[in-house]
Amino acid sequence: MNQLTNIDLKQNQIISRVMQKLAIAPVSPTPVEGQEYYDTVTHLPMVHNGTTWVGMGGTMSGADIVTAINGSASIIDGDNLPNEIAALQALADTAGFVKKTGNGAYSIDTATYGTSNVAVANIGSTAETVGGAVDNGVATSAARSDHKHAITNPAIDTLAAATDNTTRDASTTAHGLVVKATAPTAGLVNFVGIFNAETAYTNKPLFDATVPLIDGTAAVGTATVAARRDHVHPTDTTRQAAGNELAALQALADTAGFVKKTGDGAYSIDTSTYGTSNLAVADLSGTAETLGGSAVVGVATSAARSDHKHSITNPSIESLAAATDVTTLNATTSAHGLVVKAIAPASTMINVVGIGNGETAYTNKALFDSTNPAAIGAASPGISTIAARRDHVHADSLSHTQNTDTGTTSATFMVGTGGPKVKNSSGEVQMRDNADTGYADLRVKNLVVEGTTTTINSNTVDIGDSEITLNADITTNAGNSDGGIAVKRLMADNTTPKNALLTFNNSTGKWQATQGAVAGTLITTQIATKVTAAIGDNAATSFVITHNLNSRDLNVLIRETASMYAMVMADVAFTTVDTITVSFAVAPTASQYTVTIIG
């Protein structure tokens, strides 16, 4: 919270006060004379004298003194320095390292530690290569921390002889050396290779001593060993030489007939079993045959072509034979077919051929029946699969001639078919449901109630308007009065009312609430109103704010208008019942503060 005016304690004490604790003297805002804080390094209270911070007394430890000296820009007089510092100051400006020779005694050593300063300018700039015998070096200049040595790659034939190193072999994950050679047995050759699922090269045989297979079905093969260039497959002795069959066929005489195989490599001409004349394309019959007549084998010596067709002449339907009672050819849901056999119905009835839902074939079904139509009632498409006759009549005991009503002597009158009823209940008009067991719904456009009492016995009241007007019947200013809403409540005797109220008090011009426990005492309080205003103009220190709350019983809060929105303290005067005056020691900037008034 920021305090923006002086606080007059009227000579009262500040109990248990703690000063602001800082390790470094504050510099913003600029310190003013009399400002104070507690130094957590020197453990002293400090006060500003208008020029600098000074201690307000106390005892400092040695550590506190050293810390204070290190944190100060002032120079300590050399006469007050210890012997050690004086001895160091007395050394000549000679190049070398400072060497402690005794208590308060120092000298410059150039022999042990070097005779020249190693400065940035003395860092060597020569690039060195890798190679030569290992030594510490003799240069008096240093190498830079990010230096690099040049490396010249040697020729491969100058390298040292290889050892049997198996960790550098090439694999499926990296380049490397070839695997060590393995000499095979006589007549064989090894090669370096890798099989599926292996991860490194190995020595593998190129050939082996397996004899090739006999010729058979062609195949690529699966062996991972090669065949020698001069390999030979064995002869298949289980097969007959092709030459015997051809020789036997060539030896046949040029006699007309069919060739008949009589044995292995043996053939003859058969003229008795298969025919005595050649059957050539020219002998194929070109005559088209019709369908009909008695079935016979035929006597023609010419063949019919394999794609021949017989002509069919469709007979007239009346020439067909009389139908039998075939039930297996009736039409179904899966195929066309015959119509089902007819069944004659009773007198005045009609049967039709039809199919119902879930059935798979046509059957005889009644088109009408003798059931009377339903009485007039609620509209419905119906579910019957029987048709109504064209001249059917529905019973209707409620029908009457239209435009002839002048009233009714009945206490209850139904509106529409199966609709609600208008009922006269001892002079009270009621809308009842069709069964007269309860009230019916009523919807009107505009409803005007002429009377002094309107009672709504419902648990939910939905009002579309955003504003409800009370005391709407007044016509003059003199008619203004209090108005509000009451929540009915009863005490334990179930008779005495203890209503909660939300009321507009016409005399004060304010809303008030009457509330409290049913068993307790009700209290009536004014509902608070909030007024806000932003103040500040870089010039004024006092601001009058008009709130028009007609009261000095107010709550006033002042905060920063922008982040951090901290609450601040200022002088507030309740000047009138409708205004307050807010005063600051320093003029606030434009709209720097926001004033909130609640009353």
Checking if the pLDDT of 181 tops 90, the result is no
Dist CA 390 CA 375 (whole Å):
17
Checking if the pLDDT of 114 tops 60, the result is no
Checking if the pLDDT of 15 tops 90, the result is no
Kindly state whether residue 577 falls inside one of the protein's structural domains. Answer: yes
Mean pLDDT across 283-294: 60
| Surface-to-core class of residue 570, CB atoms within 10 Å of its CB (0-12 exposed, 13-18 middle, 19+ buried) | buried
Kindly state whether residue 348 falls inside one of the protein's structural domains. Answer: no
Distances (CA, A) of 101 to 85, 108, 112, 248: 14, 10, 14, 132
Lowest-confidence segment of 13-27, 79-93, 556-570 by average pLDDT = 79-93
Mark whether 490 and 554 lie in a shared domain: yes
DSSP 315: P
- pLDDT tens for residues 355-398? 888 888 888 888 888 888 877 666 778 888 888 888 887 765 55
How is residue 232 written in tokens?
């030979």
Task: Tell me the torsion sign for CA atoms 466, 471, 476, 478.
Answer: negative
Dist CA 168 CA 178 (whole Å):
9
Q: Which domain holds residue 435?
A: 411-452
Looking at residue 281, what is its pLDDT?
44
Looking at residue 384, what is its pLDDT?
84
Residue that terminates a domain, selected from 115, 132, 162: 115
Dist CA 342 CA 141 (whole Å):
129
Looking at residue 113, what is its pLDDT?
55
Mark whether 542 and 502 lie in a shared domain: yes
How is residue 470 written in tokens?
């009370």
Mark whether 498 and 417 lie in a shared domain: no
Cβ count within 10 A of residue 46: 20
Lowest-confidence segment of 75-79, 304-308, 360-364, 592-596 by average pLDDT = 75-79
Mark whether 588 and 524 lie in a shared domain: yes
Q: How many CA atoms lie within 13 A of 570 on its CB side?
A: 26
Checking if the pLDDT of 59 tops 80, the result is no
Kindly state whether residue 523 falls inside one of the protein's structural domains. Answer: yes
Highest mean pLDDT (candidates 43-57, 152-166, 306-320, 529-543): 529-543
How is residue 517 written in tokens?
């426990």
132 or 477, which is more confident?
477
| Inter-residue contact 532 to 556 (CB < 8 Å) | no
| Inter-residue contact 439 to 463 (CB < 8 Å) | no
539 or 120, which is more confident?
539
- Enclosing H/E stretch for 63: helix 62-70
Residue that terminates a domain, selected from 94, 115, 136: 115
- How distant is the alpha carbon of residue 526 from its chain centre? 51
Mark whether 593 and 497 lie in a shared domain: yes
Distances (CA, A) of 490 to 457, 496, 514: 18, 6, 15
Checking if the pLDDT of 551 tops 80, the result is yes
Mean pLDDT across 265-272: 79
Checking if the pLDDT of 120 tops 50, the result is no
- pLDDT tens for residues 430-468? 999 999 999 999 999 999 998 889 898 888 999 999 999
Cβ count within 10 A of residue 365: 17
* Beta-bridge mates of residue 502: 485, 513
Cβ count within 10 A of residue 595: 21
- pLDDT tens for residues 484-539? 999 999 999 999 999 999 999 999 889 999 999 999 999 999 999 999 999 999 99
- What long-range pairs does 46-53 form, CB within 8 A, spacing at least 24? 53/25
One-letter identity of residue 39:
D
69 or 446, which is more confident?
446
Which among 325, 291, 327 is positioned nearest to 308, based on CA atoms? 291
Mark whether 504 and 570 lie in a shared domain: yes
287 or 442, which is more confident?
442
How is residue 527 written in tokens?
């509902």
| Inter-residue contact 367 to 389 (CB < 8 Å) | no
Dist CA 243 CA 385 (whole Å):
86
Task: Tell me the torsion sign for CA atoms 183, 188, 192, 198.
Answer: negative
Looking at residue 237, what is its pLDDT?
65
Checking if the pLDDT of 118 tops 50, the result is no
Instruction: Evaluate if pTM is beyond 0.75.
Output: no
Kindly state whether residue 141 falls inside one of the protein's structural domains. Answer: no
| Surface-to-core class of residue 584, CB atoms within 10 Å of its CB (0-12 exposed, 13-18 middle, 19+ buried) | buried
Checking if the pLDDT of 165 tops 90, the result is no
Mean pLDDT across 157-177: 76
Mark whether 443 and 501 lie in a shared domain: no
Kindly state whether residue 23 falls inside one of the protein's structural domains. Answer: no
Assign residue 416 a region (left: φ > 0; alpha: ψ between -120 and 50; beta: otherwise). Answer: left
Kindly state whether residue 502 falls inside one of the protein's structural domains. Answer: yes
Dist CA 40 CA 381 (whole Å):
97
Mark whether 442 and 547 lie in a shared domain: no
Highest mean pLDDT (candidates 58-62, 80-84, 394-398, 432-436): 432-436
Residue that terminates a domain, selected from 98, 115, 132: 115
**Residue whose token pair is 């400072």:** 98
Looking at residue 369, what is its pLDDT?
85
Q: Which residues of 76-95 are buried (b: 16+ CB within 10 A; e: fewer)?
A: eeeeeeeeeeebeeeeeeee
Number of domains composing the chain: 3
Mark whether 507 and 438 lie in a shared domain: no
Confidence of residue 274 (pLDDT cuts 50, 70, 90): low
On average, the pLDDT of the chain sits at 81
One-letter identity of residue 406:
T
Looking at residue 219, what is its pLDDT?
80
Dist CA 570 CA 557 (whole Å):
10
141 or 117, which is more confident?
141
Mark whether 431 and 495 lie in a shared domain: no
How is residue 566 written in tokens?
């901290």
How large a percentage of the chain has pLDDT more than 90? 33
Mark whether 423 and 499 lie in a shared domain: no
Dist CA 561 CA 594 (whole Å):
5
Dist CA 556 CA 580 (whole Å):
9
Mark whether 518 and 569 lie in a shared domain: yes
112 or 7, which is more confident?
7
How large a percentage of the chain has pLDDT more than 70? 79
251 or 285, which is more confident?
251
| Inter-residue contact 436 to 421 (CB < 8 Å) | yes
Confidence of residue 41 (pLDDT cuts 50, 70, 90): very high
Strands 555-560 and 542-546: unpaired
Mean pLDDT across 185-193: 82
In the chain the first and final C-alpha atoms are separated, in Å, by 23
Kindly state whether residue 169 falls inside one of the protein's structural domains. Answer: no
Radius of gyration from C-alpha coordinates of the chain: 63
Which among 516, 582, 485, 599 is positioned nearest to 543, based on CA atoms? 582
Secondary structure of 261-274 as H, E, C letters: EEECCEEEEECCCC
Looking at residue 279, what is its pLDDT?
47
Mention every residue, 6+ apart, whose C-beta is less than 8 A from residue 245: 265
Mean pLDDT across 462-479: 93
Task: Tell me the torsion sign for CA atoms 473, 476, 479, 482.
Answer: positive
Looking at residue 88, what is its pLDDT?
77
One-letter identity of residue 311:
S
DSSP reduced 3-state for 414: strand
Mean pLDDT across 276-288: 52
Q: Which residues of 525-550 are buried (b: 16+ CB within 10 A; e: fewer)?
A: eeeeeebebebbeeeeeebebebebe
Checking if the pLDDT of 280 tops 50, the result is no
Mean pLDDT across 299-307: 71
Mention every residue, 6+ apart, whose C-beta is less than 8 A from residue 21: 37, 38, 40
Mean pLDDT across 91-114: 76
Mean pLDDT across 225-241: 75
Checking if the pLDDT of 423 tops 90, the result is yes
Kindly write down the DSSP assignment for every residue of 449-470, as one continuous string: --SS------S------S---S
Kindly state whether residue 443 falls inside one of the protein's structural domains. Answer: yes
